[in-house]
Structure 1
């Protein structure tokens, strides 16, 4: 089995890989790279796309699905597979991150999407593809891809220590392509949540908490133990996630439901509230936060950023100017989580995605089979 690393290797963003088959290729994820431009914004997919038999999407965050309209514009006519939750979330992501001309000519093709559920096993192009809940977002999955001789696990984005979402165990494999977003960061999620709670408590005048609409928003709600507000446009999506059933850890839905029911609705034009205010997206690149971040900065209203800050994004610029603080809310594995995933998978050969080279090198002493030299554009044989 041979794979092409199309994006997210030695870098954060445009996550994508292809498994080669005698009949063509099967793609897993198709993201964009926030802060980049030109060809670097998209996966490193060269030449015609006629041989791509299928694209499977792990979840609807921009670095995993944002290039779908771009691929359609290149003439892709193969199968498109994802969960129902990913299908529901995808149009909003493409609206924020797809090239406007591509999106106008090739809007989200809802009628072409084939649905599967986390836990299903799919058979495509001679591959047996098992799936499992990722712990990262409602409807998010990892993929275990076998050809009868070798097995590759592509984790996509996972959260083994999530306080909100369930992650299914990763199976044994010959090659583990894992979520290395945080490098060798050893601080567990519970410690970060406590730090965020203290930061919020120290700002009784209110504060702005930009967050992705899906995933981290529920992690933040679980960490806030005081009255808060949400941008009113977020509420339907938040309520739908709270009612997601098997995707959520036992007992957490009641807590989230109660807190969300007591949250205020903030609308464009309202004064900034004297409570924490959640708005999407997490980088200030799209959604309500694109307007709220500059408004907060102009009014010296405290801002806490809690996720990845791509170069040249509004959130990164605000942080660099000292107008926002940053505390990571883990929505990817920290060091102990990734070591545990690798060990339970049988300590296979490993490649980290969504991670710059220096952080990959820091992981090498802990995951000794890590191929930290792998980069976007490389091709690798599953050992």
Structure 2
């Protein structure tokens, strides 16, 4: 089994891998890189996409599905596997991040989507693709690909210590592709959640919390210490996510339902509220927060950013100008989580995706078989299973 690193290795964004075994070739995720331009915005896929047998999408965030229309424009004609939640959320992601001309010519292909549920095992040619809940978003999954001689486990985005979501254990494998978004950050998710809750308590009379529509939004709602508002356009999606109780930890669905029921709806025509306001997306690149960030800056309204800030993004510019605070809400593994994932997977060779090169070097200190030198554009061999 050979693995082509098409995006996300030595960099954050455009996450994509091609798995090759004999005549079988599949693609795992097809993301874009926020802040990049030209070819670097898309996966490093050479030539036509016509030789790809199937595409498997882990979840609907832009760095995992944002290049779908681009892939279709390059001739991809095969099936697209995703969960129902990913299918429902992907069109909005493409509207915010796909090239306008690509999206016009190749809109979201609803008739080609092959649905599965987390926990299902899928087939493509000789490849068996096992799935499991990621702990990152409702409907998000990891993939474990087996060709009978070796097994690759690709985490996509996972959260092993979420306060909201369930993550299934990634199986033992011969090569593990880890979500290394936070490198060797040792601070636990619980500690970061407390820090965010304390910040929001200090700004309970009004603040803006930009957040992705799925995933982190529920983590923030769980961490909010008092009354809050949401952009009204988010309510239907949040209700659907909270209703997916099998993706959530026991008891969490009821808590979130009560919190959302009591949340105030806010629209662009309203005055900025005297309570915390959640609005998507998390970087200010699209959605209501693309309008709210400049409005908050002009009004001196406090802003807390809680996720990745690509260089040059609206959120990044506001933070660098001293007009927004930043505390990372862990929606990816911190150091202890990744070490635990690696140990349970049998301590195999490993790669780290969604991570800068220097952070990979730091992570290798704790996971010695990590191939920290691997970069987007390279091809590597998945080790054969030990006899």
- With the shorter chain as reference, the TM-score category is over 0.9
Q: How does 1:277-296 map onto structure 2 within 5 Å?
A: 277-296=277-296
1:210-240 Cα deviation digits (max 9, x unpaired): 0000000000000002000000000000000
For the residues of structure 2 that align with 1:76 and 1:173, how far apart are their CA atoms? Answer: 29
Q: How does 1:254-293 map onto structure 2 within 5 Å?
A: 254-293=254-293
Instruction: Say whether 1:54 aligns with 2:47.
Output: no
- Assess if the C-alpha contact under 8 Å between 2:229 and 2:266 holds in 1: yes
- Assess if the C-alpha contact under 8 Å between 1:11 and 1:356 holds in 2: yes
- Assess if the C-alpha contact under 8 Å between 2:176 and 2:349 holds in 1: yes
- Which residue number in structure 2 is paired with residue 344 of structure 1? 344
- Assess if the C-alpha contact under 8 Å between 1:23 and 1:51 holds in 2: no
The SS at the match of 1:52 is: coil
For the residues of structure 2 that align with 1:375 and 1:245, how far apart are their CA atoms? Answer: 38
For the residues of structure 1 that align with 2:319 and 2:282, how far apart are their CA atoms? Answer: 13
The SS at the match of 2:10 is: coil
For the residues of structure 2 that align with 1:50 and 1:108, how far apart are their CA atoms? Answer: 18
- Assess if the C-alpha contact under 8 Å between 2:208 and 2:303 holds in 1: yes
Q: CA deviation at 1:204?
A: 3.1
For the residues of structure 2 that align with 1:65 and 1:5, how far apart are their CA atoms? Answer: 16
- Which residue number in structure 1 is paired with residue 305 of structure 2? 305
Instruction: Say whether 1:173 aligns with 2:173.
Output: yes
1:171-213 Cα deviation digits (max 9, x unpaired): 0000000100000001001111111111111113310000000
For the residues of structure 1 that align with 2:193 and 2:19, how far apart are their CA atoms? Answer: 37
1:93-126 Cα deviation digits (max 9, x unpaired): 0000000000000000000000011000011121
Q: CA deviation at 1:22?
A: 2.6
- Assess if the C-alpha contact under 8 Å between 1:21 and 1:125 holds in 2: no
For the residues of structure 1 that align with 2:263 and 2:73, how far apart are their CA atoms? Answer: 41
- Assess if the C-alpha contact under 8 Å between 2:297 and 2:323 holds in 1: yes
Between Structure 1 and Structure 2, how many residues are aligned? 383
For the residues of structure 2 that align with 1:250 and 1:194, how far apart are their CA atoms? Answer: 21
TM-score (norm 2): 0.98
The SS at the match of 1:149 is: coil
- Which residue number in structure 2 is paired with residue 186 of structure 1? 186
Instruction: Say whether 1:323 aligns with 2:297.
Output: no
- Which residue number in structure 2 is paired with residue 229 of structure 1? 229
For the residues of structure 2 that align with 1:138 and 1:110, how far apart are their CA atoms? Answer: 19
Q: CA deviation at 1:24?
A: 4.4
- Which residue number in structure 2 is paired with residue 245 of structure 1? 245
RMSD: 0.6
- Which residue number in structure 2 is paired with residue 355 of structure 1? 355
- Which residue number in structure 1 is paired with residue 135 of structure 2? 135
TM-score (norm 1): 0.99
For the residues of structure 2 that align with 1:346 and 1:25, how far apart are their CA atoms? Answer: 26
Instruction: Say whether 1:69 aligns with 2:74.
Output: no
- Assess if the C-alpha contact under 8 Å between 2:24 and 2:124 holds in 1: no
Q: Which structure 2 residue ranges, 5 or more long, are not aligned?
A: none
For the residues of structure 2 that align with 1:132 and 1:247, how far apart are their CA atoms? Answer: 10
The SS at the match of 2:234 is: helix
Instruction: Say whether 1:10 aligns with 2:10.
Output: yes
- Which residue number in structure 2 is paired with residue 32 of structure 1? 32
The SS at the match of 1:292 is: helix
- Which residue number in structure 1 is paired with residue 108 of structure 2? 108
Q: Which structure 1 residue ranges, 5 or more long, are not aligned?
A: none
